[in-house]
Amino acid sequence: MSSKQPAINFGAGPGKIPNEVLRAAQEEFLSYQNMGFSVTELSHRSQAYAEINGNAESNLRKLLNVPVNYNILFVHGGGQGLFSAVAMNLLKPTGTADYAVAGIWSHIAATEAKKYGTINYVFPKPSSSGIIPDEASWSLNPDASYVYYCDNETIQGIEYPFVPDTKGVPLVVDMSSSIMTKKIDVSRFGVIIAAVQKNLGTAGLGIVIIREDLLGRAMDICPSILNFELLSNYASILNTPPVFAVYLFGKVLEWVKSHGGLEAMEEQSKRKSELLYTTIDGSSGFYQNSVPVRNRSKTNVPIRIKNGDEGLEEEFLREAEEKGMYQLKGHSLVGGIRVSLYNAVSYEDLLILIDFM
């Protein structure tokens, strides 16, 4: 690849970060706000960091229209840490929880939760990948402490076309890969969790949006840094937070605001995914996506070539890299190719891939 040709990152996570954000971070990396030292050296007890923390929280609240009775928390680590945190903070009332397991990430979340209580699978393992059973067939426990699902399964490329009706039981959703790609009614959820490295920044930071009445339920064994009530009481600065990750997260939110907000992100997400799926479906079987149309992800699109011809797929990946397109290899558990269309991946980026295909 020519050194002058910009690379296009189609990776599933860490995902692409807007070039404007990276340039802005680069410009002030050595001297944040002309202080003479880097944001990575900034004290988390300083006024400067309090502003970074507060602005990020405020912008997320505005962009997602988060109601006043919900708290926004910044948590160390990624999704798997949040899987444990959810269970340790919410299982206590009844010791049981319902899990809708449609893919690998919800399976991992349920497996983690089993360490802390009784888990009920609301439907049997789907007979084939990509299927989300009709909600009418779900077996929900009215005494569950919460119901959990993963809105978008990045590995299989599955996205829920609906928000489950839990009949009053708190609903918990992992939106790591779909947050900020579509409008949501936050009031329908008890808790929203997301690791930011897919669509909102860099690795090392998780966010939690939690309804206030669900605070104060943590198990005694819950570590302080994962205790939602403690994090809320200390404005997510109980201990040293991942300062740079919060800073970059805030920069990405500012970028979203300056590019039309959530409405524009949703429009672009639909436009990009429709183009890619149209290309796949119109290839006379050369490219294949086996997920039912209703459940297809708009952000993570797995592709096989000629029923999984690994030789052709390796050739595709090699030639794509030669043309500056990276991280298109499918997850090791499923193989093939995967195209991730997060917000920072522009329509023009996708057109380059489509032209190559």
Catalytic residues, by residue number, are 105, 174, 198
Beta-sheet pairing, 205-211 with 287-288 = unpaired
For 83, residues 6+ apart whose C-beta sits below 8 A from its C-beta are 108, 109, 112, 113, 174
C-alpha to C-alpha distance for 197 and 249, rounded to whole angstroms: 9
The residue assigned the tokens 């009949």 is: 167
Closest CA to 299 of 256, 343, 333, 356: 343
**DSSP labels, 88-103:** HHHSTTTSEEEE---S
Residues 6+ apart with CB under 8 A from 77: 195, 204, 205, 206
Given a contact cutoff of 8 angstroms between Cβ atoms, the answer to whether 149 and 99 are in contact is: yes
Per the structure block, which two tokens stand in for 319?
């030639």
Instruction: Identify the DSSP state of 357.
Output: -
Q: Cβ–Cβ contacts within 10 Å for residue 11, how many?
A: 19
- Euclidean distance between CA atoms 297 and 340, whole angstroms: 10
CA distance to 39, 52, 60, 341, per residue, from 43 (Å): 9, 12, 23, 35
